Amino acid sequence: MKELWVEKYRPKKLEDYVFRDNHQKAQVQAWVKDESIPHLLFSGAAGIGKTTMAKMLVNELGIESYDVLELNASRNNSVDEIRDKITGFVQTIPFGPFKVVLLDEADYLSPNAQAALRGVMEEYHSTSRFVLTCNYPNRIIPAIHSRCQGFHIEKIDQTEFTARVATILVEENIEFELDTLDNYVKVAYPDLRKCINMVQQNVSGNKLSSPTKGDEGEADWKFEMVELFKAGKITQARKLLCGKVRAEEMEEIYRWLYDNLEIFGEEEKQDTAVIIIKQGLVDHTLVADPEINLAATLIKLARL
């Protein structure tokens, strides 16, 4: 079976991880030097490197696998899961300096489960460390925030994002056109994991091809949307979006528009687009019909 590129090229060492913030880099280096970490809460967009950071830290600290418990809260999110799996794990004496509980997508934990987790973190703080990741830190209860050091991971810029994917393609001896790669980047940014997976799925005969109909399921219309925006056909893009986008995807569209401001032309138009998009996102949470709000936002953008 072909190895997944997201795992093959996941940074394993501190020197391989690209930090957007030098202060954060210095902090991580200090933890490694001290051979200890506090309870941590990594936040940031999906696919941006939160879990990679957590696993890299565990690796750099030399924590053996039998002292690490990895759970995904989107699948293990009840009070019983906390009680049975996590408490059972931290109750035993660690083989090394401390145990590590790596809890991915902690924002999926119910409030009651988070309350139970808070108690476990407090009771076993001397022998265990908890590393939580989340996309939405506002869904984490204050009691968890107060027990963790917050660590927000910013998205990398699109140029570096593109360079990372291009480097993987070069390493794998895959031929590609920059314009084709750019389409994948614009669909997935800032989710690097998603972009790498989509690119790997569309390599055939050592060449990167544009996705064919059905390859990406719900992402088909996103590729078409990118082509329309790049061609300046924003009115047609609006019609496509309003006909295809699901209610749960609308907020993602606003964020995509914000992350790809260059499609609106020169800097002055981009500045105006920022105002329109931000207002649309604010209204999205307030209006009774988000679909009409999205359509109105896209009409304003089409007039730039």
The CATH number linked to 190 is: 1.10.8
CA atoms of 265 and 122, how far apart (whole Å): 52
Q: How much is the pTM?
A: 0.73
- Is residue 221 assigned to a domain? no
> Do 294 and 277 share a domain, yes or no?
yes
Indicate whether 30 and 167 sit together in one domain. no
pLDDT of residue 220: 61
pLDDT of residue 289: 78
Q: Are residues 130 and 37 in the same domain?
A: yes
As given in the structure block, the two tokens for residue 135 are 């996309």
Q: Is residue 216 part of a domain?
A: no
Do residues 210 and 280 make contact, with C-beta atoms less than 8 angstroms apart?
no
| 218: in domain | no
Amino acid symbol at 290? P
Please give the Cα distance from 189 to 256 (Å, whole number): 8
Q: Are residues 136 and 53 in the same domain?
A: yes
Residues 197 and 233 in one domain: no
178: Cα within 13 Å, side-chain hemisphere: 3
Boundary (domain end) residue, out of 131, 152, 173:
152
Domain's final residue, options 126, 152, 178: 152
Range of the domain at 254: 227-304
Q: Are 180 and 84 in a shared domain?
A: no
Q: What is the pLDDT of residue 216?
A: 46
19-28: long-range pairs with CB below 8 Å, 24+: 20/153, 20/154, 20/155, 20/156, 21/154, 24/151, 24/153, 27/151, 28/53, 28/57
3-state helix, strand, coil in the chain (%, to 5): 60, 10, 30
Report the candidate in 116, 38, 37 with the shortest Cα–Cα distance to residue 73.
116
pLDDT by 10s per residue, the chain, length 304: 478 999 999 988 888 888 888 888 999 999 999 999 999 999 998 888 999 999 999 999 999 999 999 999 887 767 887 878 899 999 999 999 999 999 999 998 988 999 999 999 999 999 999 999 998 899 999 999 999 999 999 888 889 999 999 999 999 999 999 989 988 998 888 889 989 999 999 998 899 998 765 444 455 677 777 778 777 777 787 777 777 777 767 777 888 788 878 777 788 888 888 899 888 888 877 777 777 788 788 778 877 7
Domain presence at residue 56: yes
Check whether residue 9 and residue 136 sit in a common domain: yes
Boundary of a domain, candidates 152, 177, 195: 152
CA angle 43, 45, 184 (to 5 degrees): 155
In a shared domain, residues 190 and 103: no
Q: What is the pLDDT of residue 212?
A: 60
- Residue 129 sits in the same domain as residue 164: no
Residue 219 in any domain: the answer is no
Q: What is the pLDDT of residue 157?
A: 86
Q: Are residues 96 and 183 in the same domain?
A: no
pLDDT, residue 121, reads 93
Specify the pLDDT at position 1. Answer: 47
Q: What are phi and psi of 71, to 5 degrees?
A: -135, 145
**What's the one-letter identity of residue 198?**
M
Q: Are residues 109 and 18 in the same domain?
A: yes
Please indicate, yes or no, if residue 217 is contained in any of the structural domains.
no
Residue 184 falls inside a structural domain: yes
In a domain, 169, yes or no: yes
CATH of residue 77's domain is: 3.40.50.300
Q: How many domains does the chain have?
A: 3
Q: Do 35 and 143 fall within a single domain?
A: yes
Question: Which pLDDT value is given to residue 69?
Answer: 95
